[in-house]
Structure 1
Amino acid sequence: MRAARALTRLDEVELGDHVCWRMDPTATLLTDVRAYVADGALYGDKVVMIGSTGAATTARDCSPAASVILDLPDLADTDVMLAAVRREARTAVRQGFRSVRVLTERAPMTAPGGAEEMLAQELKLDEFASESGAIVVCAFRSSLWDAPSMERAACMHPHEMGTRAERPAFRMFSTGANEWSVDGVIDSEGADAFNAAARAAIRHTPTMKLRFDTLEMIDAAGMHALVDAARHLPDRRIEVEGANETVRLCWELAGYATDGVPVVMAA
């Protein structure tokens, strides 16, 4: 079972990790990524760079035989990006590599619907890391992000590193096909982020499972966000498992334990 944790350095990454790297304002991607790339060569991983980042030069300098740059024309297209990453992962296996370690520098999507598309990409990258054992590091420059958008992005990563790498209020990450674990606290401050994450996760599947085993608390705003996400698209259903007794009782008292609600809170 994957577990959320904080890292102090990139050389602490493990197979299956999906890391939110909040870069120090004074840091340079070229310098800080060298250990990540060098460890790829040491452990037999293929390094995959997404986008034309400065780190691409470092990857080729440090490990020219085991790196590839995906300079995609439209980084906002989730399906294209994931197809390219999965293709490289399959190729890496055939070439005899242990796995792939992906590095991408993230930038806000300003087009209409871009914020939700960004969350969908992060969830898909997390699902890819979970099922394939790949390592995915997403680098964020604080100067490019406002605080709410950065917090939303951080919540979609089970692992974090760097500046202000404190634990987000909640985290949602993959634990299987169409199954997501949610930990922490979902209250009025995090309800919008949780709603956006759930909507992004459920849009490609009629039924989604959420694990609440490590969820400490969800308040009225969080419960409303969950139900709203299930109702956002027709014929969607969310099944919640592992909720503690307090969460289940609050769910019933809020009036959501009825047949008309497309969210089922299992005992």
Structure 2
Amino acid sequence: MRAARALATLDEVELGDHVCWRMDPSAAFPTDARAYVADGALYGDKLVFVAPSRGASALTRPASDRLPPASVVLDLPDHADTESVLAAVRREARTAVRQGFRSVRVLTERVPTTAPGGAEELLAQELKLDEFASESGAIVVCAFRPSLWDAPELERAACMHPHETGTRAPRPAFRMFSTGADRWSVDGVIDSECAAAFNAALRAAMRHTAEVRLQFDTLGMIDAAGMQALVDAARHLPGRRIDVEGANETVRLCWELAGYADAAVPVVMAP
């Protein structure tokens, strides 16, 4: 069973992990991931680097930290959509199995985008990468330079990773991560400060499926703003539905008192 946790270093990654790496301001990508890369060779994993076009040269230029032979660089367009990214990563994972590797280790540096819909596209990619790691046993590390990111945007992205490491890597208010096809575990606290991030995560998860299942077994608390964010996400697209499992008695009572236990609301809250 997957569980959220913090890592002291990238040396602690395990199969199935999806890690938010908050890089030190002085870190060099991918040089500072050399232990992660070296461990890939040690354990028989294939390295897959996901790089936008503008960043590919940094990964392929001759240098002392030249990439190992058992690696591939996916030189994708700057604004590659989620389906293209996942298709490329899955293709490399299938190839790695045929080649006799244990698994794949994915490494990518995330860069902010100002493209229309770019913020939601990033969340959708992170959720799908998490689902990929969960189902395949791959390891996925997403590097973020905090200095490049608006704090709320970085917080939203961090919430899509069950694991985190790096300089001053605080635990996100909540985390949403895959526990099966279209099934997501939500832990932590969802209140007015992170309700917008929760809504964005749910909308991203519902983009290509009519029904999403959430597990609230480890959720500490969800307030009125969080409940409204949940309902608004379910209503964002027609014909969508969210099934919530594992909600404690207090959460279910608050849900009923708020008037959401109604057939017209496309969210079902169950024990």
TM-score range, shorter chain: over 0.9
Match of 1:171 among 164, 170, 175: 175
> How far did residue 156 of structure 1 move?
0.4
**What root-mean-square deviation, in Å, do the aligned CA atoms of Structure 1 and Structure 2 show?**
1.4
How many angstroms apart in 2 are the aligned matches of 1:7 and 1:235? Answer: 39
> How far did residue 55 of structure 1 move?
4.4
CA contact (8 A) 1:169 1:184 kept: yes
Equivalence for 1:128: 132
Structure 1 position 221 matched with structure 2 position 225: yes
Equivalence for 2:31: 31
Equivalence for 2:164: 160
Structure 1 position 194 matched with structure 2 position 191: no
Equivalence for 2:66: 61
In the superposition, relative to structure 1, how do residues 254 and 56 fare at CA in structure 2: closer, same or farther (>3 Å)?
farther
> How far did residue 59 of structure 1 move?
10
> How far did residue 61 of structure 1 move?
2.5
CA contact (8 A) 1:173 1:180 kept: yes
TM-score by length of 1: 0.96
How many angstroms apart in 1 are the aligned matches of 2:79 and 2:98? Answer: 26
Match of 2:80 among 61, 76, 79: 76
How many angstroms apart in 2 are the aligned matches of 1:59 and 1:176? Answer: 41
- The amino acid across from 1:63 in the alignment is P
How many angstroms apart in 2 are the aligned matches of 1:59 and 1:86? Answer: 29
- The amino acid across from 2:43 in the alignment is Y
CA contact (8 A) 2:31 2:65 kept: no
> How far did residue 56 of structure 1 move?
4.9
> How far did residue 113 of structure 1 move?
1.0
Equivalence for 1:16: 16
> How far did residue 31 of structure 1 move?
2.8
Match of 1:231 among 211, 230, 235: 235
TM-score by length of 2: 0.95
Number of residue equivalences: 266
How many angstroms apart in 2 are the aligned matches of 1:39 and 1:190? Answer: 36
Match of 1:112 among 99, 113, 116: 116
- The amino acid across from 1:70 in the alignment is L
Q: Match of 2:25, SS?
A: coil
CA contact (8 A) 1:22 1:165 kept: yes
- The amino acid across from 1:108 in the alignment is P
Per-residue Cα deviation, 1:120-173 (whole angstroms, up to 9, x for no partner): 010010000000000000000112101000100000000000122121000000
In the superposition, relative to structure 1, how do residues 256 and 49 fare at CA in structure 2: closer, same or farther (>3 Å)?
same
> How far did residue 101 of structure 1 move?
0.3
> How far did residue 30 of structure 1 move?
3.5
Equivalence for 1:86: 90
> How far did residue 76 of structure 1 move?
3.2
Q: Match of 2:76, SS?
A: coil
More deviation in 72-81 or 188-197?
A: 72-81
Q: Match of 2:66, SS?
A: helix
Q: Which runs of 5+ in 2 are unaligned?
A: none
How many angstroms apart in 2 are the aligned matches of 1:263 and 1:122? Answer: 24
More deviation in 213-222 or 67-76?
A: 67-76
Q: Which runs of 5+ in 1 are unaligned?
A: none
Equivalence for 1:6: 6
Q: Match of 1:29, SS?
A: coil
> How far did residue 73 of structure 1 move?
2.1
> How far did residue 266 of structure 1 move?
0.9
- The amino acid across from 1:254 in the alignment is A
> How far did residue 103 of structure 1 move?
0.2
How many angstroms apart in 2 are the aligned matches of 1:9 and 1:248? Answer: 39
- The amino acid across from 1:205 in the alignment is T
